[in-house]
Amino acid sequence: MPVSLPYTGVSVACPVTVPYTRTSTRSATGFVGLALSGLLAASGLAKEDIDGLAVSSFTMGPDTTIALTEHFDMTPRWIEWIPTGGASGIMALRRAARAVQCGDAEVVACIGADTADPLSFARLVDDFSTFSTAAVAPYGNPGPNGPFALITEHFLRRFGLERADLGRIAVAQRANAAGNANALLGAKPLSLDEYLAAPPIVEPLHLFDCVMPCAGAEAFLVMSRDRANDLGLASARIAGSVERHNAFHEDPVAIRGGWSMDADALWSQAGLVPADVDCVQTYDDYPVIAAMQISDLAFCDKHALSAFLRQHDLRIEGDFPLNTCGGQLSCGQAGAAGGFLPIVEALRQVTGQPLGRQVPGARVALASGYGMVTYDRCLATAAAILEGET
């Protein structure tokens, strides 16, 4: 089992969220700019102090991170472009942490941002990957709902779950969103009966299994612990992290992701066990994927998931706080920012800066990501464990 070197001396700080809106006339570059501005305000740093920039976005057209340096008159000595959607936040964290550790950059801004107009989601899906255009679109053009309906159908049957088990995730996350002003659906309570009675989209997926596309940005800074201390910032250390791509491609239907290949390495690097975690922030494009991460990351066996979801309270005040900002299912999916949401919410909780309610006494948080459904499953998986340093 390969275990990476520790992230000694590296800190993560300044969780920033640019408020989500259902649609926006602001460009994706504008959302990145607002996120950067928010990072400067939160840290007290000047733009010139940011010498590393890692960005993820789907709607910047032909532009990537390098074009942004010109938009913002920046001269960084390290940049990254991370076009891996749901895994991009943790992948940005991992790359930025090594750059800081090795001295390639002192302060790295990590930003996921996307805009949304009424047609942008359809355009994005239309041209998402070579395989999806050729081999998913002819089947009713279901978008990602098609492949994930197949994954959900198979997963429920094979591991003995009911729709209501997945509903418990959606309902708890909606309760968690109640205090979060940035959650677009936070003011609309959701009951299990409403979840079960929702109209079908691609059966077995119904309305409340699906995220609402929106515009917004999520961001954080990576720097040395000394720098974070000098700036007086509430910060977290990276106890462990992993990523894996195209894992288990021999599985006819996805029942697991790369997390299960690397969970032992993650816990070993962190020197922690699942019971040490105070809150879990999974990627939640669909409830079944949140359930898959709970099991792949070793919180419970897949055959025990149904019982696990019934026996645990997934709310902020519960015994297994899950997606404590409401997740994408309640906040909306702001494109690549959705891939930053788990790590940003983990950072918020372990540094005492939630947008909504605080998980009581949260010190250790796990975040995980899942990105890029190029054909019938997402290929990119990542996870990180953050521990508050204050």
Partner 1 sequence: MTLDLQVCACCGTAQYPPRSVCRTCLSEALEARAMEAIGTLVAAATVHRSLDPGAFAKSLPLRIGTVALESSVRMIVLVPRDAIIGQRVSLRAASGGHAIEAVVLADPSARPRSQD
Which residues make up the interface to partner 1 (CB under 8 A)?
Answer: 122, 125-126, 130-131, 134-143, 145-147, 149-154, 157-158, 199-205, 250, 252-253, 375-376
Beta carbon of residue 377, minimum distance to partner 1 (angstroms, whole number): 10
Quote the CA–CA distance of 377 and 81 in Å, as a whole number: 22
97: tokens are 């942490």
Residue 146 or 258: the one with the smaller Cβ distance to partner 1 is 146
The contacts found for 67-74 with CB under 8 angstroms, 24 or more apart, are: 67/29, 68/29, 68/32, 71/29, 71/33, 72/33, 72/36, 72/47, 73/47, 74/47, 74/50
Beta carbon of residue 349, minimum distance to partner 1 (angstroms, whole number): 35
Residue 193 or 203: the one with the smaller Cβ distance to partner 1 is 203
Beta carbon of residue 263, minimum distance to partner 1 (angstroms, whole number): 21
Beta carbon of residue 352, minimum distance to partner 1 (angstroms, whole number): 41
Question: 117 and 25 in contact (C-beta within 8 Å)?
Answer: yes
Beta carbon of residue 206, minimum distance to partner 1 (angstroms, whole number): 9
Residue 122 or 197: the one with the smaller Cβ distance to partner 1 is 122
18: tokens are 């640019």
Residue 222 or 288: the one with the smaller Cβ distance to partner 1 is 288
Question: 200 and 348 in contact (C-beta within 8 Å)?
Answer: no
Helix (H, G, I), strand (E, B) or coil at 240: strand
Helix (H, G, I), strand (E, B) or coil at 299: coil
Residue 74 or 137: the one with the smaller Cβ distance to partner 1 is 137
Beta carbon of residue 311, minimum distance to partner 1 (angstroms, whole number): 25
Residue 253 or 272: the one with the smaller Cβ distance to partner 1 is 253
Cα 307 to Cα 113, 166, 310: the distances in Å are: 37, 12, 5
- 74 secondary structure, DSSP code: -
